[in-house]
Amino acid sequence: MRVLVIGSGYVGLVAAVCFAEGGNQVLGVDVDGAKVAALSKGKSPIFEPGLEELLAKHLASKTLRFSTELMPAMGDVDVAFICVGTPQSEDGSADMKYVLAVAGEIGEGMALRSPDAPPLVVVDKSTVPVGTAARVHAEIARHTDRAFEVVSNPEFLREGSALGDFLEPDRVVVGCRTDHAEAIMKALYQPFLDRSGGKWFRMDPPSAELTKYAANAMLALRISFINEIANLAESVGADVDHVKTAIGADHRIGPAFLNPGPGFGGSCFPKDLQALLKVGREQGHPLMTLAATVEANRHQKQVLLRKVKAHFGVKGGTPAPLKGRRFALWGLAFKADTDDIRESMALELIDGLVNLGAEVVVHDFAAMEAVQARIGDRVRYAATPLEACEGADALLIATEWADYRKADLEAVGKALKARRIFDGRNLFRPEAMEAAGWTYHSLGRRAVQGP
């Protein structure tokens, strides 16, 4: 099958590479010339395990190409995926200008297709509000009377495990109106579903569009819920690890997404929740659980800063106790295995500490460049996790990179000025930390005071 993938960001690039892996002829298009040039040389602009290897493989076999131009491909592609960004507008809604611009280009390109070509299947893969398939259809139809159908195919990949999620999906959701469109989509995805045993869901486009937002809202709600339970557990002397394991064993609840953390961030949840809240308000169905989820998360993003302030005796507006103190911060990405720092709580933590007069020395395995581009010398950058700890008053952990869990804590203890950790990811057990003489603050478990 000849596949056009428009937008080569996290979603578009992964989709392009994976469809090539599925045996298709793929052209990836992006307006960013530098990105296209890098991709054409096999250099991925994003950190994603395994991506560069697959990219190199399919560039070499010539099943995958990149270009800044979609027009030359329009004559003979079978399917065109729209994978451009849908950032948050000022009023919270999803900004559709990139999606609609691409729809307009596709509409113009339809003239290059033979009048008796089968209908072009145009796929919204970007996360878009309900009704977008109809808007994209109307935009394309303004330019052409040739046959096409707009399909909604929301993407559920997670940054950090994007290739696995795409190549072995739990489910594929396709909102379409004709068997022709379903057949094209099935031909693309069936090899992946065969591998994973995942489920195929055909539905109407609005249902597919809402499915994506509902999935993200549900996941975010679970995170905010367990964070609140963790905060309460600390107050009442309970241990959230016991609580989450026991409630997760209930098959109606399940164990996933029940890890307390320093608040969710990233490129999807915050903006998708705002977009869904906006739709709810517009439709006269305000989504109250979702509003509470967002509010709880805003509070949670300050959790580590609150613990640091309480520990060092910062009261009211008096910053003095943190002035001149140094903190090591492990983790800048909004979660492990990605270099994405969009809405990362680490950035809020840095702001809070620096505004109180503290110095922050940061480390991350993938996101240092992105942070440097964003905040420059507001912090110092350490080449290794241990170097960040040299002479610091405490270590703060914001991202759950597996290598932090495996760190040599004895060496860390020697590098720090005091054996003190504020752990926003619960990487260690309080009992072990207590036995090793640490002061250790984590989420939803008892705090341990060192000797």
Ligand X SMILES: NC(=O)c1ccc[n+]([C@@H]2O[C@H](COP(=O)([O-])OP(=O)(O)OC[C@H]3O[C@@H](n4cnc5c(N)ncnc54)[C@H](O)[C@@H]3O)[C@@H](O)[C@H]2O)c1
- Positions that interact with ligand X (CB under 6 A): 6-12, 29-32, 35, 83-86, 98, 101-102, 126-127, 155, 157, 159, 267-268
Q: Please give the C-alpha separations between residue 386 and each of 30, 202, 336, 404, 434, in angstroms, as whole numbers.
A: 39, 51, 18, 10, 21
Nearer to ligand X, 268 or 329 (CB): 268
The DSSP code sequence of 311-348 is HHT-BTTB-GGGTT-EEEEE--SSSTT----TT-HHHH
Q: How far is the CB of 220 from ligand X (least distance, A)?
A: 13
Q: How far is the CB of 397 from ligand X (least distance, A)?
A: 23
**Cα 378 vs. chain centroid, distance in angstroms?**
25
C-beta of residue 46 within 8 angstroms of C-beta of residue 339: yes
Nearer to ligand X, 29 or 305 (CB): 29
Q: How far is the CB of 165 from ligand X (least distance, A)?
A: 9
Nearer to ligand X, 31 or 117 (CB): 31
Q: How far is the CB of 343 from ligand X (least distance, A)?
A: 12
Nearer to ligand X, 267 or 439 (CB): 267
Q: Please give the C-alpha separations between residue 51 and each of 2, 55, 56, 78, 402, in angstroms, as whole numbers.
A: 21, 6, 9, 25, 19
Q: Which helix (H) or strand (E) holds 53?
A: helix 51-60
The DSSP code sequence of 376-433 is GGGSEE-SSHHHHHTT-SEEEE-S--HHHHT--HHHHHHHSSS-EEEETT--S-HHHH
359-363 and 439-441: which strand pairing? unpaired
Nearer to ligand X, 9 or 280 (CB): 9
Buried b or exposed e, range 385-400, using 16+ CB within 10 angstroms: bbebbeebbbbbbbbb
Nearer to ligand X, 8 or 63 (CB): 8
From the CB of residue 197, how many other CB atoms can be counted at a distance below 10 Å?
9
Nearer to ligand X, 157 or 367 (CB): 157
Q: Please give the C-alpha separations between residue 4 and each of 102, 197, 407, in angstroms, as whole numbers.
A: 12, 26, 44
Nearer to ligand X, 215 or 447 (CB): 215
**Which residue lies nearest ligand X, judged by its C-beta?**
9
- Which positions are catalytic? 268
C-beta of residue 376 within 8 angstroms of C-beta of residue 352: no
Per DSSP, the three-state class of 355 is helix
Q: How far is the CB of 96 from ligand X (least distance, A)?
A: 10
Q: How far apart are CA 117 and CA 147, in angstroms?
A: 8
Q: How far apart are CA 428 and CA 425, in angstroms?
A: 9
Q: How far is the CB of 413 from ligand X (least distance, A)?
A: 36
Q: How far is the CB of 156 from ligand X (least distance, A)?
A: 6
Per DSSP, the three-state class of 66 is strand
Q: How far apart are CA 35 and CA 29, in angstroms?
A: 10
Nearer to ligand X, 155 or 364 (CB): 155
Q: How far apart are CA 357 and CA 230, in angstroms?
A: 29
Q: How far apart are CA 307 and CA 294, in angstroms?
A: 21
Two tokens, residue 56: 């190199």
Two tokens, residue 196: 């994973």
Q: How far is the CB of 358 from ligand X (least distance, A)?
A: 32
Q: How far apart are CA 53 and CA 44, in angstroms?
A: 10
Q: How far apart are CA 99 and CA 59, in angstroms?
A: 27
Q: How far is the CB of 139 from ligand X (least distance, A)?
A: 13
